[in-house]
Amino acid sequence: MHDRGDHVGCDSAAQPSLYDTLTSHEVGVLGEVIASCYLEERGYDILERNYRCPEGEADLVAYDRVEEQVVLVEVKTRRARNVRSAAELYPEEAVDDGKRCRYRRIAARYLTEHFPIFALRFDVVAITMVSGGEASIEHFYDVLNEEAER
């Protein structure tokens, strides 16, 4: 499943001059904050931020109250300016087969560490930042499931 087309304001980047001065790291942190707010507005509880294990990292760990399921979330944030590749224009394109393989290992580790959780989902929240403090958000559900709609 894929949720597309939401636009939100980002107070932290509301002034174009400030927005243009953000480092890549700061853009990523801002994206994680936006994604957290987006998910909470849709009934998710944020359980953990920046879950790390030897296999890698999930930006967010959330609980989807509707599906009653734990969700590991990768947040991909890009600026809409200076686009050189599809991965820069469409943040979700940065999630390739290699990253999906790593996400499977992260999910397996999380299940092991947090037994008795028996199943979880891995989602991607793709955020494209535009000048003026606006952000476009797309939510890609269950990216590890080959049958999932994208």
pTM: 0.79
Residue 71 CA to residue 97 CA, distance in Å, equals 19
Q: Number of folded domains in the chain? A: 1
89 lies in some domain: yes
Domain interval for residue 114? 2-140
Q: How far separated are the first and last CA of the chain, in Å rounded?
A: 6
Q: What is the CATH number of the domain that holds 16?
A: 3.40.1350.10
Tens-digit pLDDT profile for residues 38-85: 999 999 999 999 999 999 999 999 999 999 999 999 999 888 765 555
**Which range, of 26-30, 63-67, 83-87, 143-147, averages the lowest pLDDT?**
83-87
Tens-digit pLDDT profile for residues 73-121: 999 988 876 555 544 556 567 678 888 899 999 999 999 999 888 779 9
148 lies in some domain: no
